[in-house]
Structure 1
Amino acid sequence: MFHYFDHNATTPVCKEVLEALPELAKAWGNPSSIHWGGRQPKNILRDARKAVAEAVGAGSPLEIVFTSGGSEANNTVIKGLFDYYQTAQFLTPEQRLRTHYMCSAVEHPAVIKAMEHIQALGARVDFIPVNRRGEIDLDFYQAHLSEETALVSVMFANNETGTLFPIKQMAEMAHKKGALFHTDAVQGFGKVPVNLQDLGVDFASFSGHKFYSIKGSGFLYSRKGSNFSSLINGGGQERHRRGGTENTLGIGCLGVVAKRVGLIAEKAEALAKLRDHMEARILSEIPDVTVTAGETPRLPNTSSLVVKGADGETMLMSLDIKGYAVSTGAACSSGNPEPSPVLLAMGLSREEAQNSLRISLGWETTAEEVNGFIEALKVVVARLRSLNNNEGDSCHV
């Protein structure tokens, strides 16, 4: 029996998408074709664009740019805006001075590496620190914002700890300096309601496989009037903002899931109760366990634990043998022997980071599964601690 507790890495494809796939796959024509072969695919794109725009609270379907996923959307904003400010004609003198960029120190690698890329090309980049509770340093942010700031990129929610960031407040602060604001909302949509107009951001990134759709499809919200250079040059697709024939199948699936947006608040409440029940039992039944950022507003499905005396990778493999899929951090960094950069940036020690486990629940997770997981975790932790005690100091170098 297998139980999936790693929904922040990816989500299972929902029943509605599985049912829609055969019909969507029949629309094999090119959406750019004027003849009959392109009409149905074009309608699929139009319907999906409208559905996702409504689901995330965009001002207009035309503000949606379909991409291959969150990483492409993040790179499009950061690299595309840097290139635009470097090369576009008719820029104002103020825009030409904007060579400063900011992001949090706990962003997804797609943002961190894109920022490092433009830094190597001459941009000035500041990484906003966070504290041990996962809270962003707003004093640092305020002190470093200036009339030279082009873009601020701060994630809606952290993928490892679930920490929610004050996006609306930070966007308002950026706009007072004339800077644009981007949020990587990949971990938010599908777990909590997202309203982009209320948040007041200029750009936002989303990935379908994080909210029960298929991989290889996502979208970028680009508020009307927010310009950037296209990352992928080609035809005139996506209003010249993203070249390449559209992934009709993937985009159609996005539209199917987007129409279930009304379920999100209900599911969030149920997930929060289940996650809190899980954490309460673990903390009371397994000694020397702490919840990272447990007192900070978080996604309702996410729990990051530090289990003293138990190596995270070994816990993961032991739980996998018992049929429970969990994570030690971001799935895109699996196989990296180094501890999580996110946890280290929060001020956890290397030992604490190495003894961490991330559990992320999903819409179909049951109380029975959670209780079974807790029992399995108790056995695994007791065994690892016993082994460590028996080995004594000889296991350390």
Structure 2
Amino acid sequence: MNKVYLDNNATTMIDPEAYEAMLPFLGENFGNPNSLHSYGNATHAALGRAMDQLYAGIGAKDSDDIVVTSCATESNNWVLKGVYFDILKEQKNGKNRIIVSSVEHPAVGATAAFLESLGVEVTRLDVDHNGLVSPQALKSVIGDDVALVSVMNANNETGVIFDIKSMAEIAHAYGALFHTDAVQAVGKIPVNVAESNVDFLSFSAHKFHGPKGVGGLYIKNSRELTPLLHGGEHMGGRRSGTLNVAGIVAMGKALENSVKFLDFERSQVRRLRDKLEDAILEMSDTYVVGDRQVRVPNTILASIKGVEGEAMLWDLNQAGIAASTGSACASESLESNPIMEAIGADAELAHTALRLSLSRFTTEAEIDYAIEVIKKATNRLRAISSSFSYAPSWHKSGL
């Protein structure tokens, strides 16, 4: 049976070079980098090189901080909760509100809801039918009472890219900080923190062919931010916990290689994505969320009318194809896709969501096979559907 992995927005295979780079630190070079003996010192050169790769990979300056975390979920929590303790709790300068988009990853969305339970006012920005949050929408609700705006760089389900540079400018004009969850952007499109002028940026290694269990938080100009984890002087006292040397080294190499392959992402990965997307749209009553020109090159969120997302996943899995109905962090839930609901799809349509996400390791033969299987599965599932009826104009007229 063929095996095809089209769930790269959930996690990616590790880059072979990143894998090789981490192996020495899982074996003979096992020392704690904070130890003063030779075992600890043996890790320092590789750690320094990895940190240089991270700074270069997102365009950070020497005056900035990149703090290594366990994942972007930790980074996101740290920003929102740090701003709570630094500003919101005491309502400094009258600031007691944060703004987030309605389609943030739960690592931001659930943390915002937690702050709301502590008395923080949370404003949620709606998206349009293409899944976009506009800078104008932010401008219409922001005020001097806002401490933080958090809007993702690219959506984890649709791949839609948000104009974070414009939104950061708006936030700063009102004295607010700006954070972006860039998990689905780093390694797929150019990310430059100096150009976008964000104050905080979260990323996670396993989304750009690094290992799981390691990520980072960019902090502009090394500004103060109350730590999420206390206990030691690691990472300059900003984030306690013995460093994951192997993970950091692999993350640095994975990011360096991902940046090298950005042109390949723009050309070849996009070409294969578009080929798969075109094949889906050739079928009747299908829809893909978001203009492909404003999406990261690898992502499709499609709806195939009359086909439950979970049923499609079953057929795909039986054929050796990995995909999803949305965020892996919510994959155990059989509720309708929240992004589909956010763009205005009805409940029935929201249950048909199918997310397909490629990587630079995806081949043309795999896409050809996936197209064949998806078409066969669609025909089979529609044939046994009690609700599907042929309506050839559906996918052209929108939701």
User: Normalising by the residue count of structure 1, what TM-score does the alignment of the two structures yield?
Assistant: 0.93
Using the TM superposition, name which of 56-65 and 312-321 deviates more.
56-65
Q: Which residue of 1 aligns with 2:348?
A: 351
Q: Does 1:82 align with 2:84?
A: yes
Tell whether 2:227 aligns with 1:230. Answer: yes
SS for the counterpart of 2:36 is coil
**Equivalent position of 2:270 in the other structure:** 272
Aligned mates of 1:87, 1:136 — CA distance in 2: 28
CA distance in 2 between partners of 1:296 and 1:226 (Å): 35
Query: What is the alpha-carbon distance in structure 2 between the residues aligned to residue 239 and residue 22 of structure 1?
Result: 26
Task: Give per-residue Cα distances to partners, 1:353-397, cap 9 Å, x unaligned.
Answer: 1011000011111111111101101110100111115999xxxxx
Q: Is the 8 A contact 2:232 2:240 kept in 1?
A: yes
Structure-2 separation of matches of 1:214 and 1:2 = 21
Question: Structure 2 CA distance, aligned partners of 1:231 and 1:115?
Answer: 15
1:34-73 matches, within 5 Å, as 34-60=36-62, 63-73=65-75
8 Å CA contact 1:133–1:295 kept in 2: the answer is no
**2:98 equivalent to 1:101:** yes
What is residue 161 of structure 2 aligned with on the other side? 164
CA distance in 1, matches of 2:387, 2:184: 41
- Residue 302, structure 1, aligned to residue 309, structure 2: no
For residues 178-197 of structure 1, what are the structure 2 equivalents within 5 Å?
A: 178-197=175-194
Alpha-carbon offset, residue 62 of structure 1: 5.1
Whether the aligned pair in 2 keeps the contact of 1:302 and 1:359 (CA below 8 Å) is: yes
CA distance in 2, matches of 1:225, 1:390: 56
2:42 alignment partner AA: Q
Q: Report the alpha carbon displacement of residue 97 of structure 1 after superposing the two structures with TM.
A: 1.7
What is the alpha-carbon distance in structure 1 between the residues aligned to residue 74 and residue 386 of structure 2?
A: 47
Q: 2 CA distance for matches of 1:278 and 1:178?
A: 44
Gap change, CA 1:386 and 1:106, over 3 Å in 2: same
3-state SS of 1:224 partner: helix
Secondary structure at 2:198 match in 1: coil
CA apart distance, 1:41? 2.1
* 2:307 counterpart letter in structure 1: A
Cα deviation digits, residues 94-139 of structure 1 (max 9, x gap): 9442211001000000000111111111111100110111111433
Change (3 A) 1:352 1:390: closer
SS at match of 2:382: helix
Report how far residue 22 of structure 1 moved. Answer: 2.1
Query: C-alpha displacement at 1:87, in angstroms?
Result: 6.6
Residue number in structure 2 paired with 1:91 = none
Partner of residue 150 from structure 1, selected from 147, 150, 163: 147
Measured after TM superposition, the shift of residue 147 of structure 1 is 1.3
Gapped runs of 5+ residues in structure 2? 390-399
2:88–2:95 Cα contact (<8 Å) kept:
no
Total equivalences in the alignment: 386
Mapped to 1, the partners of 2:218 and 2:67 lie a distance apart of 6
Runs (5+) with no aligned partner, structure 1:
89-93, 393-397
Q: Which amino acid aligns with 2:44?
A: K
Identity among equivalent positions (%) equals 38
Aligned partners of 1:390, 1:134: CA distance in 2, in Å? 26
Amino acid at match of 1:342: I
Give yes or no for contact 2:304–2:352 (8 Å, CA) kept in 1: yes
TM-score normalised to structure 2 length: 0.93
- Cα offset, 1:21, TM superposition: 2.8
CA RMSD of the aligned region, Å? 1.8
Do the aligned residues in 2 keep the contact of 1:307 with 1:356 (CA within 8 Å)?
A: yes
CA contact (8 A) 2:153 2:161 kept: yes
